[in-house]
A and B are shown apart, each in its own frame.
Chain A
Amino acid sequence: MALESSRSNKSHKSEDSIPNLSREMCSLLLADLEKAKRPVLRATKCSLDNSRYDFKVGYLTPGPKKVATELNVSSVKKMSRAIFLLEILLRNIETGAVNTKRELYYMSKGEIKHNPSLRPLDFGSQDESDEIIDFICEMLECYREEFNCYANDRGGQTYSQHLIVTETMSDGEKAVIDLSKMGTSPFQPKNRPQKLKLTAKKKIDFAIIIESEGTANTLVVNGFTKRNNCILIGSGGVPSNAVRAWSKTIQDQLKIPLFFWGDLDAYTMQNIFRTLKAGSASSLIRNSDFSAPDVKFLGVLPEDIKKYDLADYPVKENDAQEVRALKKASDALANDPFFKDKRNKGLAAILKWLLTHKRRCEQQAYFTVDPRDPIMPEKIILEKIKRGDYV
């Protein structure tokens, strides 16, 4: 009997679904074993060739391809380890405890220490236990945050004079954070931003996710958030799960325009902006909660270079990351359903421009326009938003 995950296309909102699904899966496994039948677990294949994109949905969704894991003499060790870790994770959900992957690695060591019969399961390194945690998530088609397993998330520093965040703690108590009371210190969403409740003291006009955390901070210190009813978020490079989920939460709860401001290069377009807007191929099963399809690419746009006489430069041959991203770009234009979609042809055109011109321009180039005017970048951003100068 093949155990198909029943979570596909289901929402990930139900708190109880994970323990129930886990028990259901274990029970089916057990039933097969009782009949000496070979259980087969099928999980969604998370890869670009199994990605679908529909502009109306807004993010990459899984196709029909599945990866089968059969219980046999070669996989029995992996399965035993998975069931062992699953037990620890379920206990966490039950008690509301939260852990990082590394902590779980050490917890598994502790369990084995107190029960020598489990010694064959011992993990040689954290890589091994991480792999099993990912395997559990694939089997149950969920993400690890649903098991209370959180990464040490980076990025997502948020500034606003009008946003109020209400967090329900694990003990049920509520914490209310008024971002206007934090001076120039940012609020950083952690763990599961979907659980946060957002309200606005005054109508918020827009939110900007800025690739560079440093530049986000500069804008705030120069008074951007004081002069504008907005939210500024520093992404810190490739958006982490927290940044992705936080953007999605802002989009859904506040229903305000979202903009992304970052470098004009192939890496930013494919790895940062695409991930933020439509998720990634490796996280197909959770893109629904980890992408903000409404986000627009504010800049730097290729035409901005001419319009604002921005300092750009050719892609250096020794810039391995960018050279690799350029190579990937032609592949993306041919195979990535996101860039292939007609409704995203503006973004694909930017990628084509990058491929043709092999030049890049950084977000900080707006500071070249008038170096003596500290709020010149702010002026340009506002002008671009006003004029609808974004993709």
Chain B
Amino acid sequence: MASKANAKITSSSTAEYFSKNLQQVGFSSQTKAVLTTLKESVDNALDACEESGILPEVSVLVEKVGQGSLKNADQIRIRVVDNGPGIDVDDVPKVFGEYLASSKFGKGRCSRGQQGIGISAATTWAQLTSAVGARVITKTESMRKAMSCLVEVDIKNNRGHLKEKETIDWDRPHGTSVEFLVDGRVQLNGDAGLLNYLNGTALVNPHLTLHYKLPELEPHTVTRVSDAIPELPEATAPHPHTMKLGEFMSHSHLFGRVKIEAWLKKGFSRIHEGVLNDLVKAGIKRGVLDKSVDAIGDADFKELFIALQNLKLMAPSTKSVLSVGEETLAKSIKRLGAVDFFAVVSRKPTICDFKPVQIEVAVARLEEKAQEHETPAQILRFANRVPLQFDKSACAIVHAIESVNWRAYGLAQPKDGLPLGPYIMAVSVVSPFIKFKNASKETIDGSDELVEEIRRALIQAGQRLSKHIRREVKANELEEKIRHIEQFGPILVEGLCRITSASEARKKRAEEGLLKLLGRDAHATQQELDKAHALLEAAKVTEAPSLPPPPAPSEGPDSEGAEELEGSEDKPVKKGKKESAKESKKKVSKKAKGK
């Protein structure tokens, strides 16, 4: 006991902690390791391009190199090359080899990366499984030549080390290439597949041109559908109602020796002179507000904090959220494959749990999966434009999808389950403060408010989609009715004539009469179909002029951004169906007239 009690307490570096707990940051299985490495590299490339106002062009290579050192693992090469601004040589070891070294941490921006863990974890995984760190080539505009090096994590000290550093010629004015050799297994399809990740990334990044080469697949390029670079909204200061007392107190030290009054106004959103007056009215002494932040005690902090919590404050600004925009989302969704029809909805930025958030939804029916009526719809989840691919069932987005009654919109759906059929449902949650369930950012932890907001967006999309489905149902009904007339009409008349021993002439007259009768029914259905079609067209016309401008930050809670857009691909199959129904109808009328 004594020896245990006297055991030396040591401290570990952040790198040491993460190197032993890589499963917490997305390296919990061999397939996840490959996906996380790719994801972290692409996220960094896209963030870098956006921050520098560059239209991103990213090339991805994933290939099997040989056998891995782990049991049943392949050695996989993952290389991501971007046309971003490049990284200053001094920053390279920090970016790829140091944990929690981030330019975005706690900034209150909607960037993909936040904490500065992911890419360093990828380097660590490569180092642990292949004994080689990250091979980086980078060039900024000001560098004459590119720098190539190997970055390794000094796990003991949480430092990045450069090795094999050399200058090389490179074929581009600026950009970064990062290559990892890792142990893992490649999974192409399914929710957790590489293709799902790349398609999803393309969907919510319409301005991205993506080249990729994956094992067993031909090289593929997804071309950008928008030349507008998303303008990164300004970072937003935290809202006092989202904080806890400890956070509140530590926050006070970020601004140096300033007066409490100045700290509150500068360090928080929605605190202005009026709020300070209200604080005084609520019992806070004016003198406290005039004191320096390091001159007041814990009791004063607590009193101030409680007074703030009890005040009715304006909700935070929604300026800090960034949307893809409906128009671009509509273009982008067609990059997922042949689409029968789709609906996109971009909700107004709003406040959920005192945090600004914007929900965007795209629902499309895929032609190539037309036969998959029994399989659940494919769900694409995004948090700050990053696809989420694991632990689907715990995610707020999935809860919201399951809570919608899709049957009302013509989709099949088991009770409280995901809708079925050849549909793809993409839901994007954008917010500077997304609450994830874990460090590897796999699922969004949803409050009731957030789930309700997502649900509303989905309902809007469902309503738009139902117009297409209704039209299709009408077309099917018409076809079915025409088939009925052709099949059963003659049989009925013949049966009646046999029972009544009717003459040939009577039979002929009855056949003509029946055809006329049933033709009228078909005509009525055709009219319903035309009506459904006209409704759809009218909706398109009225909505087209009110499309929001290309992706731009919203102007606050009052801005109008919640337009809806939907459309259809005039695919030969659907069009053909409608036409064939029309033709059949004509055929029936012609027959009736002819006789």
Q: Known contacts A77-B488, A87-B499, A121-B491: does B506 contact A30 (CB below 8 Å)?
A: yes
Known: A73-B484, A76-B518. A33 touches B499 (CB 8 A): no
Task: Determine how close the nearest CB of chain A comes to the CB of B504; give it in whole angstroms.
Answer: 13
Is A23 a contact partner of B500 (Cβ separation < 8 A)? yes
A122 → B minimal CB distance (Å):
11
Task: Tell me the bound Cα distance from A34 to B512 in angstroms.
Answer: 7
Residue of B nearest to A83 (CB): B495
Residues of chain A in range 126-166 having any CB-CB distance to chain B below 8 Å: none
3 nearest A-B pairs in the assembled complex, by CB-CB distance: A83-B495, A73-B521, A36-B513
Contact (Cβ within 8 A) A34 B513:
yes
B493–A33 contact, CB under 8 A?
yes
Q: Are B517 and A33 in contact (CB under 8 A)?
A: yes
Q: Is there a chain B Cβ closer than 8 Å to A80's Cβ? A: yes
Known A36-B512, A76-B485; contact A83-B517, beta-carbon cutoff 8 A: no
State A38–B517 Cα separation when bound (angstroms): 7
| Interface residue from B485, B489, B491, B509 paired with A34 (Cβ < 8 Å) | B509
List residues of chain B with CB within 8 A of the CB of A32: 513
Q: Can you name the residue of chain A whose Cβ is closest to the Cβ of B480?
A: A73
CB <8 Å contact, B489 and A26: no
Q: Complex Cα distance A74/B496, Å? A: 18
CB-CB under 8 A from A37, the residues of chain B are: 513, 517
The CA-CA distance from A50 to B491 in the complex, in Å, is 35
CA distance A33 to B522 in the complex (A): 17
Interface membership of chain A positions 66-101, coded 1 if the CB is closer than 8 angstroms to chain B and 0 otherwise:
000001111011011001101100100000000000
| A73 and B500 contacting across the interface, CB-CB below 8 Å | no
CB distance from B497 to the nearest CB of A (A): 7
Per the bound structure, the CA–CA distance linking A37 and B514 in Å amounts to 8
Contact A72 B521 (CB under 8 A): yes
On whether the beta carbons of B484 and A76 are closer than 8 Å, the reply is yes
Least CB distance, B524 to chain A, in whole angstroms = 9
**Is A35 on the interface with B (CB-CB < 8 A)?**
yes
Docked CA distance A90–B437 (Å): 73
Which residues of the partner chain A approach B491 to less than 8 Å between Cβ atoms?
80, 84, 117-118, 120-121
Q: Are A73 and B496 touching (Cβ within 8 A)? A: no
Near B by CB (< 8 A), chain A positions 31-80 give 32-38, 71-74, 76-77, 79-80
| A231 on interface, CB distance cutoff 8 Å | no
Let me know if A209 is at the binding interface, CB within 8 A. Answer: no
User: In whole angstroms, how far apart are the Cα atoms of A37 and B516 in the complex?
Assistant: 9
State the total of A-B contacts with C-beta under 8 angstroms. Answer: 86
- Assuming the contacts A83-B492, A120-B491, asked whether A26 and B500 have C-beta atoms less than 8 A apart, the reply is yes
Closest to A71 in B: B517
Chain A at the B interface: mostly helix, strand, loop or mixed?
A: helix
Residue A27 at the B interface, CB < 8 A? yes
Most chain B beta-carbon neighbours within 10 Å: one of A36, A72, A73, A120 = A73
Greatest chain A CB density within 10 A among B517, B521, B522, B525 is at B517
- Other A-B pairs beyond A36-B516, A86-B495, 12, CB < 8 Å: A23-B499, A26-B496, A32-B513, A33-B513, A33-B514, A35-B513, A72-B518, A76-B485, A76-B489, A76-B518, A83-B495, A118-B491
In the assembled complex, the Cα of A316 lies from the Cα of B238 at a distance in Å of 64
Min CB distance B462 to A, Å, is 28
Pick the contact of B495: A35, A73, A84, A120 (CB < 8 A).
A84
Instruction: Give bound CA distance, A117 to B495, whole Å.
Output: 12
Nearest opposing residue in chain B for A19, CB measure: B499
**CA–CA, A74 to B493, complex, Å?**
16
The answer, yes or no, to whether B498 is at the interface (CB within 8 Å) is: yes
Contacts of A76 in B (CB 8 A): 484-485, 488-489, 492, 514, 518
- Decide if A22 is an interface residue (CB 8 Å cutoff): yes
Question: Count of B residues near A, CB < 8 Å?
Answer: 28
B159 within 8 A of A: no
Main secondary structure of the interface of B (DSSP, over half): helix
Q: Does A232 contact B (CB under 8 A)?
A: no
- Tell yes or no: B487 within 8 A of A by CB: yes
Tell whether B502 is near chain A: CB-to-CB under 8 Å. Answer: yes
The 8 A CB mask of A1-40 against B (1 = contact, 0 = none) is 0000000000000000000001100110110111111100
Q: Give the Cβ gap from A128 to chain B, nearest Cβ, in Å.
A: 15
Shortest distance from the beta carbon of A343 to any chain B beta carbon, whole Å: 45
Are B499 and A120 in contact (CB-based, < 8 A)? no
B228 at the interface (CB under 8 A from A): no
CB proximity to B under 8 Å, residues A358-377: none
29 A-B pairs whose Cβ atoms sit less than 8 Å apart in the complex: A23-B499, A27-B502, A30-B496, A30-B500, A30-B510, A32-B513, A33-B509, A33-B513, A34-B506, A34-B510, A34-B513, A36-B512, A36-B517, A37-B517, A38-B517, A72-B521, A73-B484, A73-B518, A76-B488, A76-B492, A77-B488, A79-B488, A80-B495, A83-B495, A84-B491, A86-B495, A87-B498, A118-B491, A121-B488
User: B484–A77 contact, CB under 8 A?
Assistant: yes
State in angstroms the CA–CA spacing of A37 and B517 once bound together: 7
Assess whether A120 is in contact with B488, with CB atoms less than 8 Å apart. yes
A121 to chain B: which residues have CB within 8 Å? Answer: 488, 491
Name the residue among A33, A74, A83, A117 with the largest chain B CB count within 10 angstroms.
Answer: A33
Q: Do the beta carbons of B481 and A33 come within 8 Å of each other?
A: no
Q: Across the interface, which residues of B come within 8 angstroms of A84, CB to CB?
A: 491, 495
Residue in B488, B499, B512, B513 whose beta carbon sits within 8 Å of that of A80 in the complex: B488
Distance, CA A352 to CA B481, complexed state (A): 53
Distance, CA A122 to CA B516, complexed state (A): 25
* Shortest Cβ gap from B430 to chain A (Å): 49
A29 touches B513 (CB 8 A): no
Q: Is the CB of B517 within 8 A of A80?
A: no
CB distance from B511 to the nearest CB of A (A): 8
Complex contacts, A33 vs chain B, CB 8 Å: 493, 496, 509-510, 513-514, 517
| Residue ID in chain A nearest B592 by CB atoms | A36
The reply to whether A30 and B488 contact each other, CB–CB distance below 8 Å, is no
Question: Whose C-beta in chain B lies nearest to the C-beta of A22?
Answer: B499
State the Cβ distance, A357 to closest chain B Cβ, in Å.
40
Q: Whole-angstrom distance between the alpha carbons of A30 and B525 in the complex?
A: 25
A31 to chain B, nearest CB (A): 8
Q: Report the Cα distance A138→B499, complex, angstroms.
A: 19
Chain B residues lying within 8 Å of A117, measured Cβ to Cβ, are 491
CB distance from A88 to the nearest CB of B (A): 11
A30-B500, A36-B517 as given contacts; A87 in contact with B484, CB under 8 Å: no
Contact of A90 among B487, B499, B510 (CB under 8 A): B499
